[in-house]
């Protein structure tokens, strides 16, 4: 009975539908997010049939935000944050101010009060952390220049939002036509001061105490040797710090979790901690998108198309336009500026919270919230398209930046990439712990070598050598085409992920029936899987380790 077990019903129906619609979205070659959002619309209260518990969905989504931001923090050090402050602080504040003004203007056109316009403007000025971070992670941009600025920008937006949430109940009624109790400037400044002081106190506590205590705790647990306890400890720290940050210091969950992660990022354990939270993070991120879909009332598209379009234009053109101009003013390249601007061209969780607050204060009614939700869901769906355009027109953008594409561009490729001129070469996929060693060997043997590596910066060590490098996901057909697999002699797939490795082997075999393909595996079942897809040789890491170990013991036995 769904109504007796609302949590189980939500998880089963929501995740089940997200899986089915996500698969369909994948088949249709659109973003998985579209599938998840649609699953939310289906289990939401505005469509017939089963309606899941909305309040529960929102809380679960919040857990997703916490884990996501904790993971982001783990990859981000205080130093990284300081390095981008000169651009992130003024950039985010000016962009938010401009977006709020645009929202006020739109609100005026729609006949809202000044207070109502302020709610609308604030809601439209803040990007969704989850959507932006997922976008960066999917494109492996987290460690890039654009990624670091975008994360710094997000942190500032988040801080300003905390301030807005505190100040809206005071400023809103003053702007509203109700002429409600005026509050003196002094009192407003006091509130701002108090909020900022609380945020500062939280950061200070984390830097002075958390920075020592949390890594020490995890080290202690790591030494117990129990993986289960370690996993639990990481979760307890991430959720615990986020919760107490919110309860004691009035900081958002997201910011609390981010700082918890950042404090840990200086410790050796951070990588392990990140891995432990990955599966949970992904599952909860899906729940986040389901919860957004649930809030959406599709009727708004029919009832208020013009207003919806106006709101959408602010999100899709206004905010990114302003961000782009500001970034160019800060002398960032076209490519970096466009990446960040497009990343900000969407709204999500904070906007819903603001809309809810606006309704509570009587500044806006439900129509405005529906518009904000409509714009959120549509902008989240459109966002991947913007990134697609960015890829499609990359050569044009790079020309603006003065970077000339190395060679002619494959005309029909869905993703434009400079095509290599190498033939009879070796293509090495993945330049990590395994790939690096393979690359050294192949170079020593005199192979003409092309490396495909997904992580920006990972292959940086190769830049000055004679080895050609392509940055991108090798599972993408356009990347493989640009590597001229059809003309290659050897393909070495040195990545650990079996799904991506399978896709790569399959595509490489189709493109070139004669090429020798050597692939990497970690489990017994992966060997026949990759062989079936066309690998000539699959090297099972664990087997090779065991073999080498045994070789050592044999030497001892002979001597004994
Ligand atoms: P390791 O497990 O240390 O050998 O690292 C694997 C390397 O492969 C990392 O540097 C990843 O960034 C890279 N990698 C993983 N998946 C892909 C992919 N689909 N395309 C290209 N590089 C990848």
pLDDT in tens, 274-292: 778 878 888 888 998 898 8
Nearest one of 524, 485, 530, 484 to 503, comparing CA atoms: 530
> What's the start-to-end Cα distance of the chain, in Å?
69
Tell whether 412 is covered by a domain.
no
Same-domain pairing of 458 and 367: no
517 Cα–ligand 1 center, Å: 17
Tell whether 399 is covered by a domain.
no
Look at 193-202, 256-265, 343-352, 410-419 and tell me which has the smallest mean pLDDT.
410-419
Same-domain pairing of 444 and 384: no
Whether residue 128 contacts residue 349, with contact meaning beta carbons closer than 8 Å, is answered with yes
The closest residue, in CA terms, to atom 6 on ligand 1 is 432
Same-domain pairing of 332 and 461: no
Tell whether 288 is covered by a domain.
yes
What is the distance between the alpha carbons of residues 550 and 560, in angstroms, rounded to a whole number?
15
Quote the crossing angle between the two packed helices 227-249 and 54-74, to the nearest 10°.
110
Residues with CB under 6 A from ligand 1: 429-435, 452-455, 458, 473-475, 494-497, 500
496 Cα–ligand 1 center, Å: 7
Q: What is the CA radius of gyration of the chain?
A: 26
What does the buried/exposed string (b/e) look like for 133-160 if buried means 16 or more CB atoms within 10 Å of the residue's CB?
bbbbbebbbbebbbbbbbbbbbbbbbbb
The confidence score (pLDDT) of residue 559 equals: 61
Residues pairing with 469 in the sheet: 451
* pLDDT at position 560 over 70: no
Q: What is the pTM of this model?
A: 0.69
Where is the domain boundary, 368, 391, 414? 391
The confidence score (pLDDT) of residue 327 equals: 95
The closest residue, in CA terms, to atom 5 on ligand 1 is 432
Burial of 174 per CB tally in 10 Å (0-12, 13-18, 19+) = middle
Look at 18-22, 159-163, 170-174 and tell me which has the smallest mean pLDDT.
170-174
Question: What number is the average pLDDT over the span 327-350?
Answer: 92
Tell whether 499 is covered by a domain.
yes
Tell whether 207 is covered by a domain.
yes
The closest residue, in CA terms, to atom 8 on ligand 1 is 430
What is the distance between the alpha carbons of residues 306 and 302, in angstroms, rounded to a whole number?
10
* pLDDT at position 400 over 50: yes
Same-domain pairing of 181 and 286: yes
Same-domain pairing of 334 and 455: no
Whether residue 127 contacts residue 92, with contact meaning beta carbons closer than 8 Å, is answered with no
Tell whether 404 is covered by a domain.
no
Same-domain pairing of 22 and 159: yes
CATH number at residue 250: 1.20.1530.20
Where is the domain boundary, 373, 391, 409? 391
Residue 154, token pair as written in the block: 């997000």
Nearest one of 171, 158, 170 to 93, comparing CA atoms: 158
CATH number at residue 495: 3.40.50.720
* pLDDT at position 145 over 50: yes
Tell whether 117 is covered by a domain.
yes
Domain tally, the chain: 2
439 Cα–ligand 1 center, Å: 13
Mutate to test the pocket of ligand 1, among 454, 482, 505 (most ligand atoms within 8 A of CB): 454
Same-domain pairing of 123 and 259: yes
Same-domain pairing of 367 and 431: no
The confidence score (pLDDT) of residue 435 equals: 94
Question: What number is the average pLDDT over the span 428-453?
Answer: 93
Same-domain pairing of 449 and 372: no
Query: Where is pLDDT greater, at 282 or 111?
Result: 111
Whether residue 84 contacts residue 148, with contact meaning beta carbons closer than 8 Å, is answered with yes
Tell whether 397 is covered by a domain.
no
What are the pLDDT digits (tens) for 12-25?
999 999 999 999 98
Same-domain pairing of 386 and 438: no
pLDDT-above-90 percentage for the chain: 42
Cα 139 to chain centroid, rounded:
9
What is the distance between the alpha carbons of residues 419 and 303, in angstroms, rounded to a whole number?
49
84 Cα–ligand 1 center, Å: 27
Where is the domain boundary, 369, 391, 413? 391
* pLDDT at position 190 over 80: yes
- Give the chain's count of helices (H) and strands (E): 26, 6
What are the pLDDT digits (tens) for 485-522?
999 999 999 999 888 899 999 999 999 999 999 999 99
**Host domain of residue 505:** 426-559
Same-domain pairing of 108 and 224: yes
Same-domain pairing of 515 and 385: no
């Amino acid at each position: 009975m769904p109504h007796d077990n609302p949590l189980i019903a939500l998880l089963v129906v929501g995740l089940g539908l997200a899986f089915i619609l996500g698969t369909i979205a994948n088949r249709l070659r659109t973003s998985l997010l579209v599938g998840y959002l649609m699953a939310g619309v289906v289990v939401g209260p505005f469509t017939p049939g089963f309606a899941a518990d909305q309040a529960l969905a929102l809380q679960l989504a919040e857990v997703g935000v916490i884990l996501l931001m904790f993971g982001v923090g783990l990859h981000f050090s205080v130093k990284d944050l300081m390095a981008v402050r000169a651009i992130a602080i003024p950039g985010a504040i000016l962009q938010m101010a401009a977006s709020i003004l645009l929202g006020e203007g739109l609100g005026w056109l729609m006949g809202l009060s000044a207070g109502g316009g302020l709610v609308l403007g604030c809601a439209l000025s803040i990007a969704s952390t989850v959507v932006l971070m997922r976008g960066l992670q999917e494109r492996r941009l987290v460690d890039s220049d654009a990624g670091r600025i975008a994360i710094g920008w997000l942190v500032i937006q988040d801080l300003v939002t905390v301030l807005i949430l505190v100040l809206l109940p005071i400023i809103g009624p003053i702007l509203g036509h109700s002429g409600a109790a005026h509050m003196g400037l002094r009192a407003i400044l006091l509130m701002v001061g108090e909020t900022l002081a609380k945020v500062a106190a939280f950061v200070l506590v984390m830097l002075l105490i958390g920075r020592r205590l949390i890594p020490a705790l995890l080290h202690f647990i790591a030494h117990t040797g129990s993986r289960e306890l370690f996993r639990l400890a990481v979760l307890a720290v991430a959720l615990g710090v986020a919760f107490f940050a919110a309860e004691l210091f009035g900081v958002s969950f997201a910011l609390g979790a981010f700082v918890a992660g950042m404090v840990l990022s200086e410790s050796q354990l951070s990588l392990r901690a990140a891995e432990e939270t990955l599966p949970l993070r992904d599952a909860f991120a899906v729940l986040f998108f389901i919860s957004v879909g649930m809030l959406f009332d599709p009727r708004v598209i029919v009832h208020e198309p013009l207003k919806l379009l106006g709101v959408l234009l602010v999100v899709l053109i206004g905010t990114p336009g302003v961000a782009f101009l500001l970034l160019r003013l800060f002398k960032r390249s076209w490519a970096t500026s466009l990446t960040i601007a497009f990343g900000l061209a969407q709204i999500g969780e904070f906007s819903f919270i603001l809309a809810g607050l606006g309704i509570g204060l009587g500044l806006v009614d439900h129509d405005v919230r529906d518009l904000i939700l409509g714009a959120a869901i549509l902008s989240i769906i459109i966002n991947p398209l913007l990134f697609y355009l960015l890829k499609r027109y990359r050569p044009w953008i790079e020309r603006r930046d003065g970077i000339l594409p190395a060679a002619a561009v494959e005309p029909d490729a869905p993703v434009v990439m400079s095509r290599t001129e190498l033939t009879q070469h070796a293509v090495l996929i993945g330049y990590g712990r395994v790939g690096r060693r393979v690359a050294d060997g192949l170079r020593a043997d005199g192979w003409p070598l092309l490396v495909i590596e997904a992580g920006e910066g990972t292959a940086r060590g190769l830049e000055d050598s004679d080895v050609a490098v392509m940055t991108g996901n090798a599972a993408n057909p356009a990347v493989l085409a640009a590597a001229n697999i059809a003309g290659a002699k050897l393909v070495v797939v040195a990545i650990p992920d079996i799904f991506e490795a399978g896709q790569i082997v399959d595509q490489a075999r189709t493109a070139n029936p004669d090429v020798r393909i050597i692939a990497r595996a970690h489990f017994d079942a992966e060997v026949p899987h990759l062989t079936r897809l066309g690998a000539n040789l699959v090297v099972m890491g664990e087997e090779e380790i065991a073999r080498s170990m045994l070789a050592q013991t044999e030497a001892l036995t002979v001597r004994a």
